[in-house]
Copies of this chain bind each other. A is one copy, B any other.
Amino acid sequence: MFKINENYLKLPGSYLFSTIGKKIAAYTQEHPEKKIIRLGIGDVTQPLAPAIIDSLHHAVDEMANAETFHGYAPDLGYEFLRNAIAENDYRARGCDISSDEVFISDGAKCDSGNIQEIFSIDNKIAVCDPVYPVYVDTNVMAGRTGVYDANRGVWSDVIYMPCTAENQFVPEIPKEVPDIIYLCFPNNPTGSTLTKEQLQEWVDYANKVGAVIIYDAAYEAYISEENVPHTIYECDGARTCAIELRSFSKNAGFTGVRLGATIIPKEIKCGDVTLHSLWARRHGTKYNGAPYIVQRAGEAVYSEEGKVQLKKQVDYYMKNARVIYEGLKEAGYCVSGGINAPYIWLKTPKEMSSWQFFDYLLEHANVVGTPGSGFGPSGEGYFRLTAFGSYENTVKAIERIKKL
């Protein structure tokens, strides 16, 4: 008789955004006349930039002719895209990353979920709290997290690094030594950043204790301030301890196009074995490459036109971020984020819980946000709004919130 992976059953409730979806559906059914504005899930709303559309059409035409048709892609990605990423995101910043250290995938969510697989089950992970749920949930499914304490909302074998107003949402080196450290900066959900010096401390620490940092750089394009690192490889020694995840979802609006990349320098080793070789093996065995047309779209992100158009797109969202940030401040909320990130993180008013505030906002302002507690116990009492709506809707949503 077959047996299931019992670790799946340990997962508490359903995935955060599914729960939100159900609540919205229920409210909409009861109040079909209400116009809900969604500033919750981190999905973009602006269409793909013209340079990307052109490149998609061109690639589709190539697929229509035997001479230019593309079948199976190289497992690890086409050279043209691996080169563009290594050149533009790394070497142009003075970071020593070669093209064959870039692995193309269908998105950072998959990569951030799958990467744990190349590690032993008995590694201990450390995560910021609050945190993007995928890091923890995928480790739960692998059986790496111990027992869940439903009252406290924590796993016995996970090291939590609280990020709250008290420490400016910057994680501190944990007392217990982790094997794998997940960091995401600019941060989802708090919108906070690390300075280069702060990130360097983490790299030094990881090298000292022999830990690996999984660095999620999905929001890099939103950095507007100096001294905020765009990649972990700006730090000395990152090549021996850090994996970096990159997304095309937020800088280029690829949430529905699906493209990502993971960088694994060849120097990260356990004994003689490189993590690079393990991830290459995983790609070769379990993955069949990102679509050719999508990889060509990714290439267009790095074209001169593409860069100009996407800068405008990011500026558009960052204008929204300012509307939210300043509007909420005026309304008396305690807010952070929004300067180097498309996320605004606010303290819920009147000691409401995160879900109470979710319901309150849905009902009284018809605005959807994301409850902070959905990202971990230290997110309780906080709430996330995103800058990915249209400008008009964002302005309207903030007006409604101001009137509460």
**Is residue A244 contacting chain B, with contact meaning CB distance below 8 A?**
no
Instruction: List CB contacts (< 8 Å) of A37-95 with chain B.
Output: 41, 43-48, 50, 53, 56-57, 60-61, 63-66, 69-73
Given the complex, which residues of B lie within 8 Å of A41, measured CB to CB? 72
**Are A179 and B1 neighbours in the complex by a CB distance under 8 Å?**
yes
**Is residue A376 contacting chain B, with contact meaning CB distance below 8 A?**
no
Given the complex, which residues of B lie within 8 Å of A72, measured CB to CB? 41, 43, 255-256
**Are A292 and B66 neighbours in the complex by a CB distance under 8 Å?**
no
Given the complex, which residues of B lie within 8 Å of A18, measured CB to CB? 284
Task: Tell me, in angstroms, the Cα distance from A2 to B210 when the chains sit together.
Answer: 6
Task: Tell me, in angstroms, the Cα distance from A64 to B47 when the chains sit together.
Answer: 5
Q: Number of A interface residues, CB 8 Å?
A: 81
| Cross-interface CB contact of A180 among B2, B110, B210, B212, cutoff 8 Å | B2
Instruction: List CB contacts (< 8 Å) of A265-323 with chain B.
Output: 270, 273, 275, 278, 281-282, 284-294
Given the complex, which residues of B lie within 8 Å of A172, measured CB to CB? none
Given the complex, which residues of B lie within 8 Å of A119, measured CB to CB? 2-5
Task: Tell me, in angstroms, the Cα distance from A46 to B180 when the chains sit together.
Answer: 45
A1 and chain B: residue at smallest CB distance: B210
Copy total for this chain? 2
**Are A141 and B390 neighbours in the complex by a CB distance under 8 Å?**
no
Task: Tell me, in angstroms, the Cα distance from A88 to B174 when the chains sit together.
Answer: 55
Task: Tell me, in angstroms, the Cα distance from A230 to B194 when the chains sit together.
Answer: 56
Report A1-16 CB contacts with B as 1/0, cut-off 8 Å.
Answer: 1111110110100110
Task: Tell me, in angstroms, the Cα distance from A282 to B110 when the chains sit together.
Answer: 11
A120 and chain B: residue at smallest CB distance: B3
| Cross-interface CB contact of A258 among B5, B120, B290, cutoff 8 Å | B290
Task: With A50-B64, A273-B9, A288-B258 as known contacts, state yes or no: A4 contacts B71, CB within 8 Å.
Answer: no
> How close is A176's CB to chain B, nearest CB, in angstroms?
14
A-B residue pairs in contact (CB < 8 Å), sample of 21: A2-B212, A3-B120, A3-B122, A4-B118, A4-B120, A5-B120, A11-B285, A14-B281, A43-B71, A45-B69, A46-B69, A48-B69, A56-B63, A56-B293, A106-B258, A113-B285, A113-B286, A117-B141, A256-B289, A258-B290, A258-B291
